[in-house]
Amino acid sequence: MSDTALPTCQKAVSILWPAFLTAGVATILFFTAFDPSVLLQETRFADTSRMGAYTIGFFLFWLLTTTSCALTCFFRRPCNPKQN
Amino acid sequence: MGKKDNTDSLYASDPKIYPRAVSGLFAMWRSIGVFVLLGIYYIVPWLDWANRQAVLFDLPNRKFHIFGLTFWPQDFFYFAVILIIAAFALFFFTAIAGRLWCGYACPQTVWTELFLWIARKVEGDRPKQIKLDKMPWNAYKIRVKATKHFLWLALAAYTGFTFVGYFTPIDELASRIVNLSLGPWEWFWVIFYSFATWGNAGFMREQVCIYMCPYARFQSAMFDDNTLIISYDEQRGEPRGSRKKSDDPDSKGLGSCIDCTLCVQVCPTGIDIRDGLQYQCIACSACIDVCDSVMDKMNYERGLIRYTTENAKQGKSVNLFRPRIIVYATALILMTVSLAYAIATRIPLEVDILRDRTRLFNETDEGLIENTYSLQIINKDEQNHHYIITVSGIDGMKMIIKSDTVQIKSGEVLDVPLRLQIDPYDLKKRSAEILMTVTAVDNPDIQIIEPTRFLGPTGR
């Protein structure tokens, strides 16, 4: 079955959803170990509240995991033109 | 088990499912589940305990309050154990009775049930909903759809507000939200969770179970021939066919199934249970309830679709105490008891020792070897305490500290700098282990002994 049979929306969701799950886990583990107010106190983001840091942190993790999921899908495409 | 999914194009967009309302024993249990679980969800943040919110996951202050207990990021261990207990409980119940979680307790099911109830109150049951969706847009359709979505969104918004109320004190949140003066992050999460509720319970419903839920994909690994499943009695039901109530099925060569398709109409995932066990089945038992009501009308025996096991279906005996169940149960009990013990004997004090990193050791004017430390002491108790710090490990060690005892308020952290001095004659090794003991003055049980090292010049 070729992946092109997937509607675009479903392709997007199939990348975003596992990324969301792992990003959630990563956020919990990361911010349990590291206090964002300590991490940021020497930087220009020192005014960010913890809630803000958690939220931004979650979306950065999501961006990272989405990238990795998307790359997996991208590299899974057959690269031998004969197979197409 | 069950027929193979004949892969009717997994990627075709599925037709919208309009589950028909159902009443009966299992529907009643699910309603009870909805009331109890959503009741807990909506009420708990409003409970108070000792002048603060009883259950508050105070992320801005990095503390979780659960009734009388306060958990810190350092207590992550307990959270991990709770997750493992939850996983074993899920395995245990799945092995015994299949997807009980999915049918009665999963938030996805519970909120979907509530949203479907609202939709039925506004739009009517399945036939009316189908008719409404087919009809062209007119004033009536707009009014009905708008009412439904208004109610859905109102409920979703309250759900989102309650969700954030678990993380910021809900009284304060309530008064600030009516003044529209929430912080940006609070607005974000209220709106995010509201839309997630609206989308998940209103639109995606059991699509979430079929396509997105990881548990749905691996739950069959916990199944064996003794697991309770919802099953259609093929031997009794086939050959299916419609008939009059007065007809004798035997003389017409028919089984008990009258092929009314109600079991398909009530199914929230749109499957036909008569095709056998399918992974889309969330074990909501709606088909059992509706089939029993049909059997009653036909004066047939109930249970054409029923909870049964693969062994029972084949006339074998059903074994409840099989190794898998015993292993899950033992693990579950052990973990729960250890967690309860660990929490009951938890010492509400945390000590972290940091050595001065700039210099390994100093030599004082008197010729003593000196090490500098910083103690981070966290009072995790509900009361304020005075603490006394002592050291041991090397004879003749002298401690230089600002005051003998330090006071730390409940839930606060204090950094205590201290220096240790020793005559190099007493120092036998270049690096020696020493112990620092922090004890609450009013309660010697609140005591932490933390090892660290004392460094000096090459020992003799």
Asked whether residue A31 is assigned to any structural domain, the reply reads: yes
Q: A–B: how many Cβ contacts below 8 A?
A: 32
Asked whether residue A11 is assigned to any structural domain, the reply reads: no
Q: State the Cα–Cα distance between residues B441 and B342, nearest whole angstrom.
A: 23
DSSP notation for B123-179? H-SHHHHHHHHHSPP-HHHHHHHHHHHHHHHHHHHHHHHHHHHTTS-HHHHHHHHHT
Asked whether residue A16 is assigned to any structural domain, the reply reads: no
Specify the pLDDT at position B86: 93
Q: Is A79 on the interface with B (CB under 8 A)?
A: no
Specify the pLDDT at position B154: 94
- Among A11, A29, A51, the residue to mutate for chain B (most B Cβ within 10 A): A51
Model confidence pLDDT, tens digit, residues B328-364: 999 999 999 999 998 888 888 989 998 887 888 888 8
| 3-state secondary structure (DSSP) of residue B336 | helix
Asked whether residue B279 is assigned to any structural domain, the reply reads: no
User: Domains in chain A: how many in total?
Assistant: 1
Does the beta-carbon distance from A52 to B185 stay under 8 Å? yes
| 3-state secondary structure (DSSP) of residue B83 | helix
Nearest CA in chain B to A32: B73
For B62, the closest of A5, A10, A35 (CB atoms) is A35
Asked whether residue B330 is assigned to any structural domain, the reply reads: no
Handedness of CA A33, A37, A43, A47 (dihedral sign): positive
β-partners of residue B375 are B353, B416
Q: Which tops the pLDDT comparison, B449 or B15?
A: B449
Asked whether residue A8 is assigned to any structural domain, the reply reads: no
Specify the pLDDT at position B205: 86
Q: Is B13 on the interface with A (CB under 8 A)?
A: yes
Nearest CA in chain B to A35: B62
At which of B204, B236, B270 does a domain end? B204
Does the beta-carbon distance from B76 to A32 stay under 8 Å? yes
For residue B202, give Cα distances in angstroms to B65, B82, B277, B302.
32, 31, 26, 33
User: Domains in chain B: how many in total?
Assistant: 2
- CA angle centred on B417, ends B416 and B418, rounded to 5°: 115
At which of B204, B231, B264 does a domain end? B204
Q: State the Cα–Cα distance between residues B391 and B422, nearest whole angstrom.
A: 12
Specify the pLDDT at position B247: 80
Average pLDDT over residues B417-426: 88
Domain that holds residue B385: 349-455
Chain B: nearest CA to A45, how far in angstroms?
16
- Among B6, B7, B11, the residue to mutate for chain A (most A Cβ within 10 A): B11
Q: What is the DSSP letter of A45?
A: T
* pTM for this prediction: 0.81
Model confidence pLDDT, tens digit, residues A38-69: 888 888 888 888 888 999 999 999 999 999 99
**Burial class, A41, CB count within 10 angstroms (exposed 0-12 / middle 13-18 / buried 19+):** exposed
Residue found by looking up tokens 């609202």 in the block: B118
How many other CB atoms are found less than 10 A from the CB of residue B177?
Answer: 18
What is the CATH number for B439? 2.60.40.10
Asked whether residue A28 is assigned to any structural domain, the reply reads: yes
Domain that holds residue A32: 23-77
Asked whether residue A62 is assigned to any structural domain, the reply reads: yes
Chain A: nearest CA to B11, how far in angstroms?
6
Asked whether residue A44 is assigned to any structural domain, the reply reads: yes
